[in-house]
Amino acid sequence: MTDRLLLLARGRHVGVALLGAGAAAALVVGVLAVPGPVITARPTTVEVTPVRATQSLVCGGPVLGLSRGPEPEIIAVGEPVRRSAGEGLVERAIGESDAVDGGAVIVELPAEAPADDVSATERQELDEPELRGLAVAECLPPAPTSWLVGGSTTTGRSSTIVLSNPGEVAATVDLSVWGADGPL
């Protein structure tokens, strides 16, 4: 091959390469310069006003003690004074108790009541020969888990746990008792 033909062949290759590079550059400029289709998603909106549910608080009821005699039973000592706040409240006793009559009370704020919030407390003053003092407790909403802190069974003291189910559905309870050294 002569130098002239070799030079023409190389020139053709360089020309094709330059032509390809120019086409690629034109394609990039075209893609960047020409706007593509615009897709706009418009989310649908739904205005939801939640329906207020009945709010319930459980008040523990009277202080409990043991009756005297050869076979002592748990008895309610006195009657607590209950204070509640909220318009349209309904109070009802928990249906039946295996432990004591006159036990826990449910304070409910029905969904259709005019108020939005409910709160309640119980207070009981005791001045009995073996029970003296003031007991005050907040009425709390039913909860799946609770911790009771401060029970004592040292000499001269006794502790009683009364479980109440404020709902209509049967409840299963797992009760764990812990001491200073761990589970008992």
Q: What confidence tens digit (pLDDT) does each residue in 109-163 have?
A: 988 888 788 899 999 998 877 778 898 999 999 888 888 777 776 777 767 777 7
The closest of 120, 178, 123 to 147, measured between CA atoms, is: 178
Residues spanned by the domain of 88: 55-183
pTM: 0.63
Number of independent structural domains in the chain = 1
Quick check: is 1 in a domain? no
pLDDT score recorded for residue 97: 64
pLDDT score recorded for residue 102: 64
Distance CA 176, CA 166 (A): 21
Q: Tell me how crowded residue 59 is: count the other CB atoms within 10 A of its CB.
A: 22
Quick check: is 21 in a domain? no
Quick check: is 79 in a domain? yes
Quick check: is 47 in a domain? no
Quick check: is 150 in a domain? yes
pLDDT tens readout for residues 32-47 = 777 777 888 888 899 9
